[in-house]
Amino acid sequence: MTAELSDLKTRLRPCFDDPVCDSQAAFRALMNAIAYPGRIELVNRLRDAPPPLHAATATLCLTLADFETPLWIDPHLASTDVLAWLQFHCRAPIVTSPKDARFVLADCRSQVPHLDELHPGEVEYPERSSTLILQVASLSGREGVRWTGPGINGTTTARISTLPRWFWAEWAMNSELYPLGADVIFASGEAIVGLPRSVRVEA
């Protein structure tokens, strides 16, 4: 019973030292990541995160997910602790298909859903598309791709590591759907990089 009570206290304690200021700071970092694609933003105000979630991944869940935003979770990430933590802090309904999810939570070490498995939005409501939160090994790997689009001064080189081989080819097709299409937020450690659907890439 003592161990169970200790575990319960861990789940119930606040995720941020200052819930109001820290959540606002995390949201600003997220908005900057979307407004300036390719820029690495730190979201390191989380007290702790249940493994195997990175701090940035968990912070994104706290910032974005709630009872009105269906969430699909990669089985690799869906440990008992993660599911309990998400249920208590976010209360987002868990769905079985990525296309039914507002947010899709995946890890590059597992089977990342293909982009055409995500919801592209609707002509009248493009904002209803899925956002893929993809946990990766590093945001500063060796190989890079050039990005162009709104929020980018000319071009920028993004060095997202451990992506599936098919990812950039499918992204090219996804960006052709604009203003429809999925958005992606890469998360690694305490940092994020935004990839909105308006961005085009060159290998």
Where do the domains of the chain lie, and which CATH numbers do they carry? 19-202 (3.40.50.11310)
* Cβ within 8 Å of residue 198, ≥6 positions away: 149, 150, 175, 178
Report which of 30, 94, 80, 13 is spatially closest to residue 50, judged by C-alpha positions: 80
- Give φ, ψ of 46 to 5 degrees: -75, 135
Query: What pLDDT, on the 0 to 100 scale, is given for residue 5?
Result: 41
pLDDT of residue 203: 64
In the chain, which residues have pLDDT < 70?
1-14, 45, 203
Position 38, amino acid: G
Radius of gyration of the chain, Cα coordinates, nearest whole angstrom: 17
Rounded distance, CA 43 to CA 24, Å?
11
**pLDDT digit string, tens, across residues 136-195:** 999 999 889 999 999 999 999 999 999 999 999 999 999 999 999 999 999 999 999 999
Tokens of 60: 């994104």
Report the distance separating Cα 102 and Cα 106, nearest Å. Answer: 13
- Give the number of other CB atoms < 10 A from CB of residue 30: 20
Give the angle 84-24-195 at the CA atoms, nearest 5°: 80
- DSSP characters over 105-122: EEETTS-PPPGGGS----
Q: Report how far residue 34's alpha carbon sits from residue 36's, in angstroms, rounded to the nearest whole number.
A: 6
Q: Which residue has the tokens 């169970």?
A: 4
pLDDT of residue 17: 72
Please name the amino acid found at residue 154.
G
